[in-house]
Structures are given as C-alpha cells and as structure tokens.
Amino acid sequence: MRLSRITLYPLSMPLISHFETSFGRIYNRECVLVKIESEGLVGWGECAADRDPGYSYETTGTAMHILKDFALPLLVGQDVIDAADFQRRIGSIRGHHLAKAGVEMALWDLLGKRDGKSLKQMLGGVRDQVEVGVSVGLQDTTADLVRAVDGYVAKGYRRIKIKIKPGRDVSEAQAVRAANPDIRLQVDANSAYSLETAHVLRPLDDLNLLLIEQPLFEDDIWDHRLFQKELRTPICLDESIISARHARYAIEMEACRIINIKPGRVGGLSQAVEIHNLCQPAGLPVWCGGMLETGIGRASNLAISSLPGFTLPGDVSASDRYYTRDVTQERFTLNPGSTIDVPTGAGLGVTVDEQAVKDFALGEVIVQA
C-alpha cells in the first residue's frame, strides 16, 4: 500500500492507580501513537516506549526522534507490501524495536482493513477468547499488596503477577501466597538482581510459582542459565529476549523454560510470531507480556495471544485495570474464567476516538510525501 502520510502522537494517559516496578513508579503512562493514511484507509499502531529509560533504553523521546528523522522518511510515499517488506525497508536502523513495532502494528491494521481480515486471522490465531492475568505493581506495604491482589481476585483474575525488587521480594511473595494458597502466582524482578545477589530469591522455590520473570540483567542470558540450574521454578525471560536470535540463544543455553513475548520489545508482530514459531517445537510455553497499553496496543496483544503456543495467561488485563478513559471506543472486559474476547473486526478491530487522542496528546508530528 502506498503510505501517503504518517502522524505521530506522543500521549500521556493518566493511570487509574500508579504502577511501580523495580525501576520506578509512574502515575501517567506515556507512549506514542502512529497513524498511517493510505489509499483512503487509516491504520493505527502503538509504540510502547515510556517517558523514562527504565524498562528499555528507548523512551518516547527517542522513539519520536528515530521515527521522524530516520524511519518515516524511508516509508512515506512508498508502496509497502507487508510486514516483511517493512522490516527490509527499515533494516538499516539498528535497534529501537519499540519505535519500529509501533509502525508495524499500524501497517497490520491497514492491511487488515484493506483485506477485511482481523489481526487474529492474519497472524494465525486459533482462539476466540484468551486467558489473562493481572500484573500488580509494588505497593507501599505488604498489607497494601495483599489488599490490592484481593481486589483483583474479587474481580475474577485467576492469575496474579507481583513485581519484586531487592528487599521486597520473598516476603511479598510469601504474604500473597499465604492469602491465596491456590492462585496461579508469578513474580517479575525486571532485571533487579545479579547472579551474586539473586541467591536471596531461593526461597521462592517453595511457593509453587508459575515462573520467575527476568531476575537478572537484561544482557545476561548466560547468568540466567546458571541461575536456572539452581531453581526448580521456571525462569521466564522478558527484557533479555530482543529478537528471534536471542530466543534461540536462551533455548539452546537452557537459560529459561518460558518466554514472555512482547511484540514491541522484539521489533514488531512479525518478529513476535517468529519467536512463537521457534518456541513451539522446542516445547517452551510463551505468553504475551504487557506494557500498560492503550486500547490500540491491547487489541494487538489480544490477537497475538490467540496463537496456539500462547498457553500461559497474558498480562493483558481489562481496560478498567488501567484507564478510566481510553483512546478506543471499545473497552475490553474480563469474562468469567479470567478470559478476554479477541477482537474480530478488520485489522486491530478497534475504532479510535480521535478526540481522546487529541486530548491526551502532548504534541503531533506529521511526515508526508
């Protein structure tokens, strides 16, 4: 499709409740929306970079720079055929996966709208509903955490993830486990430990956790292998898996037994599908991670979660876990059984509320042929 105009909207979305991880606390989620206009159609995508380089070196600022100054000039006025063609065209830009993935998502939305196909159909999804859980941030006290988890369990979430950091790890997990003996429970350290300090996590092995997510540094696949050998609980990698090659390294090194797939982190939905296709024959379950997405990125996460290898519940919670007002007309709700429906409309299957986009936008950049 000939891409005539691409608009970037850096957004700031107020969260219903603040979200704290080992790398910091946020009250507003920033991201960048991508709008592509082509042949009378409009496609939307979401770049999951945040304001600060805590989770990733990328920020909304670097994403705006890379897209405006390097990626979009390679695309506007061009006839871009599909995601593979898109990846070839931007192949000269090193890294910046979150930025690239936002544009790839908008391209998928556009192609789906042209062909009358849902993203689920295009990616090879096989489920109409997907199992989901909720990722609960660090709270001020352990009692607050147990209360927050209680609230989500009462809403129907059957899989809970809690964030941990040094000093707030085993104690938090033990308290949540004691209050919820049967719930599917997992923890996420967001790279807060080294092999030397991670020994404090050993007691987590007695809590019947589904997995321990990204305990060690993001660039340390080898030490994850060493740590995995010490644990019965599966390690799941998030930050470390930035490409299909890194997924292969982790599988071959036995550095983890589960992979969290975030299409943004790996440079796009096409790369996410590749990792899924690599993990399936290797026997590694995968699940879809979340980045506190708006309705746009959430629709995309639900579609990819419907692929056959996504056998663990995703961090793709209902809209009301995040935002009172979203940028899509649709709001995603939790079904009994801790599932959410996968959108069925063409492309992402959502209708963007352009007034909401304008209200949350911190700016606007237009690149055209």
58 binds ligand OSB, rule: CB under 6 A: no
Contacts of 43 (CB under 8 A, 6+ apart): 35, 36, 106, 107, 108, 109, 110, 111, 113, 347
Of residues 190-249, which lie at the interface with ligand OSB (CB under 6 A)? 190, 238
Site string for Mg ion, 184-203 (x = CB under 5 A): ----x---------------
Task: Determine the Cα–Cα distance for residues 235 and 255; give it in Å rounded to an integer.
Answer: 8
* Chosen residue from 38, 60, 118, 135 binding ligand OSB by CB under 6 A: 135
List beta partners, residue 20.
25
Regarding 315 and contact with ligand OSB (CB under 6 A), the answer is: yes
Please tell me the distance from the alpha carbon of residue 302 to that of residue 120, in angstroms, as a whole number.
8
The catalytic residues are: 163, 262
Residue 242 CB, shortest distance to ligand OSB, in Å, is 14
| 187 is a contact residue toward ligand OSB (CB under 6 A) | no
106 binds ligand OSB (CB under 6 A): no
292 is in the binding site of which of Mg ion, ligand OSB, none (Cβ under 5 to 8 A by kind)? Answer: ligand OSB
Q: CB–CB of 56/31 below 8 Å?
A: no
User: Is 292 among the residues that bind ligand OSB (CB under 6 A)?
Assistant: yes
Burial pattern 199-210, b for ≥16 Cβ within 10 A else e, equals eebeebeebebb
d(CA 299, CA 327): 12
- Cross-sheet strand order for the sheet of 134-136: 134-136, 159-163, 184-188, 212-213, 235-237, 258-261, 286-288
Q: Which two tokens stand for residue 9?
A: 């909207």
- What track of x and - describes contact with Mg ion for positions 106 through 145 (by CB under 5 A)? ----------------------------------------
238 touching Mg ion, by CB under 5 A: yes
List contacts with ligand OSB (CB under 6 A): 55, 135, 188, 190, 238, 289-292, 315, 317
List contacts with Mg ion (CB under 5 A): 188, 213, 238
